[in-house]
Amino acid sequence: MTRLKVLLVVVLMTSGCGGGSETAAPTTTTAAPTTTSEPTWTSDSTWDMCLVTAPAGRSYEWLNHETRMSLERQYLEIPRSIMPNGGGTTTAYAASREVDDHVALIDGFVEARCDLIVTIGAEMTEATTASARQHPDVDFIGIDQHHDEELPNLAGLVFPEDHAGFLVGALAASATLTGIVAVVLDSGTEPSSVAYGDGFVGGVAHVDPDVEVLSIVHPGAGGEPNTDWGATAAREALDAGADVVFGPGNGSGRGVLLEVAGTGFDARNGALCIGAEADDWLQVIKARRCLLTSALKLPNEYHSQYWAPDRPALIKQFEDVLDLPAEYESGSSYSTLTLINREFLLGGTPSGGHVGPVGLGFFNLWGAHKVGVPNRTFWPSDDLKSELADLTAALWTGEVATTTAPTTTTAPTTTAAAPTTAAAPEGPPGGPWTFSEQVNEHLVETTVTCRTSGLEVEYRLDGQPIDPETTGFRFTQGAQSFHRVVGAEDADGPDYLFDGGWWIEDRTNDVSCEPYEGPVWEDFTDDSILVTEIIWPDTYLRDVRCPQLASGSVAGDCVVGFDYVRRATVDGHLLEIGFDCAVAGVGEAWWVLDGVMVTNRFYHPPEFNYEDYEEWVVAPWRDLYGDTVYDYVAYVHWSDDEVFVFDIGRVKIDLNLEAFTEGDNCVLLDWSTTEP
């Protein structure tokens, strides 16, 4: 068998379907098998592939997902391409949840007689090497691992961060208007961090040596490179005039992106941002105002984010470089991870270190995450896309080196970490501020203006003012009001949903208005809330709940179950919302602050027989709103000098009799676990 030492990207079409697998659907596990009894899901006639994923986190979430997708594809393809006359494949997975539990998970898969064990993350390097040494009859692949010891049954697959940094640098140099770009790094000594930085500097110089590069590096003392430090470093870059900022750090990256994104009204320098090691369009939603793309490690080159031409170049041209063994069909080639796996399966020893591909994700069409406007619109030309595709190939073949010397760099920063605060909107103090999006080829606009009479909102569809069926609301105490600017209009096709975000109106002196971004909520289903106290004068309960908390009762906590629970932490306070869906939207909801139920949303269901629902409830609503109507459920609580915003979000209610009578008639559009 050909011994693969450096694997380049190979992406060709696969064909055919079906296969000769004798096994059932892939086996999925959440913990490695711990029994020594005869396994029921592995067999001498099957190729059993087992994966131990890294603990969840920014640096490994993408690799976990893409590696699993690669194994699932191989589960389908190996039987028809390599085992057409019998045999088959199985897959199994175990998730590492704590620092040291991966050893037991690897051992469990060895006991289960897996043929191939794949592990992810540098933290598993030592355990993977030790297990490969101890079990020479099992093959191992370590993703993102450099192994000091070479064993015939052990292969490492790493991804060249300098290539990724080089591509990002080339893109940044092409997108800058100020002639200044920046990279923020977690470390000046850790190999992957250094590689990202060196590659970025080289990529900028490759495109335009006159562009200045600011390299801002965590000093290594005074704390970890967390999101607060990332925000501080990003501000330093913006202060120095940078208008493209790259944040590849596992610790600081999120803070870099959020700081460059700003509030939606303070686009300093019209700055763009670029992430790494995760699809930040999904991971850091508030960064969409500035996000250009993300640099990604790609163990599964079938992923749709590969360039063609705005994906990494097709790699048919690299077939001769790889010297593929005859066993691989001429009409099909496979991902880097697949090549190593298949060489093990065919009896080869593809041991040692291998290089996997990196690439740039989708270029992003900007949204403003409900509040504000994009920092700057930049869409790469076809020529730039082709240039980046060619550069991807040239980096693989070595035609382009990643160590081009920079024109200028800055010294590492020693700035101490500091929390970030949202800036007030720039421009005219009273606005107007317009939030717009295209829906079904129609322009939907929400305009907010701060006048002497207070906050004013106008909704427009294709430039024409309209009066939506439902609109927002406000909560007021003293001179302060919190407005939720939303609207909805029923249409023949998709409904039109207007969204201007949360706003604070203050009348202490003159009227002032500024946007407000609430906390990040975590969503749970079928959960409960521990309530230690109830503010009874502000509570309206239809049924008896938590009698032990009533005045004069024996003291005791109360655990209340709900279909849905949201939690967030604000300045050290725990905010919890518990609620159920009812016949027409959200039913009763409890707003709980640090265990204290401060008030609730009272719910009284319609008291009609089944036969009367259509005539007295459903039909009148449908005549007024159409097939659907939208509610927005939230509550603002003032406590001493602090304000807490409880936000369930927009709720879609289906106005037909069947949905009403089923009693669970609400689609939570802002809920992370419920599809609209």
Could you please report the per-residue DSSP string of 410-441? Answer: PPPP-PPP----PPPPPS-TT--EEEEEEETT
Residues 611-635 have a mean pLDDT of 80
CA distance 55 to 69: 17
Question: How far is the C-alpha of 425 from the C-alpha of 262, rounded, in Å?
Answer: 10
- Tell me the mean pLDDT in the region 402-413: 47
Most confident of 415-424, 490-499, 545-554, 627-636: 627-636
Question: What is the structure's pLDDT at 425?
Answer: 37
Does the structure show a pLDDT above 90 at 365? no
The mean predicted confidence, pLDDT, of the chain is 77
DSSP 516-537: E--PPPEEEEEEEEEE-EE-GG
CA distance 553 to 349: 73
Predicted confidence at residue 46, as pLDDT, reads 87
The reported pLDDT for the residue numbered 620 is: 75
Looking at residue 31, what is its pLDDT?
Answer: 39
Beta strands 180-185; 352-355: pairing state: unpaired
Neighbours of 417 (CB within 10 A): 19
Among 29-43, 129-143, 193-207, 526-540, name the one with the lowest average pLDDT. Answer: 29-43
Of 626, 625, 617, 612, residue with least CA distance to 584: 617
- CATH number of the domain at 161-296+360-397, out of 2.40.50.140, 3.40.50.300, 2.40.50.100, 3.40.50.2300? 3.40.50.2300
Query: 427 pLDDT band (50/70/90 cuts)?
Result: very low
* pLDDT for residue 665 is more than 90: no
Angle (deg, nearest 10), helices 61-81 and 336-345: 50
pLDDT reported for residue 233: 94
- Mean pLDDT on 79-91: 74
User: Is the pLDDT at 536 greater than 70, yes or no?
Assistant: yes
Of residues 160 and 313, more confidence is placed in: 160
Look at residue 531 in the predicted model and tell me its pLDDT. 92
pLDDT of residue 614: 78
Structure confidence at residue 385 as a pLDDT band (50, 70, 90): confident
182-196, 247-261, 391-405: least confidently modelled range: 391-405
Q: How far, in whole angstroms, is CA 644 from its chain's centroid?
A: 26
- CA 467 to chain CA centroid, nearest Å: 35
Q: Where in the chain is the domain with CATH 3.40.50.2300?
A: 161-296+360-397
64: which 2 tokens?
């976990």
Work out the pLDDT band at 322, boundaries 50, 70, 90. Answer: very low
> In the prediction, which pLDDT does 643 show?
94
What pLDDT does residue 126 have? 92
Q: Where is average pLDDT lowest: 38-52, 164-178, 254-268?
A: 38-52
Q: Is the pLDDT of residue 196 over 90?
A: yes
Q: Lowest-pLDDT range, 337-351, 576-590, 633-647?
A: 337-351
Return d(Cα 296, Cα 9) in angstroms, integer: 14
Question: How far apart are alpha carbons 115 and 675 in whole angstroms?
Answer: 38
**pLDDT score of 86:** 64
Residue type, 496: Y
Task: Give dist(CA 393, CA 389) in Å, integer.
Answer: 7
Kindly state the greatest CA–CA separation across the chain.
Answer: 84
Higher-scoring residue by pLDDT: 57, 143: 143
Report cis status (omega within 30 of 0) of the bond before 494: no
Between 626 and 207, the higher pLDDT residue = 207
Quote the DSSP letter at residue 280: H
Mean of pLDDT values over 100-128:
90
Residue 93 has pLDDT above 50, yes or no: yes
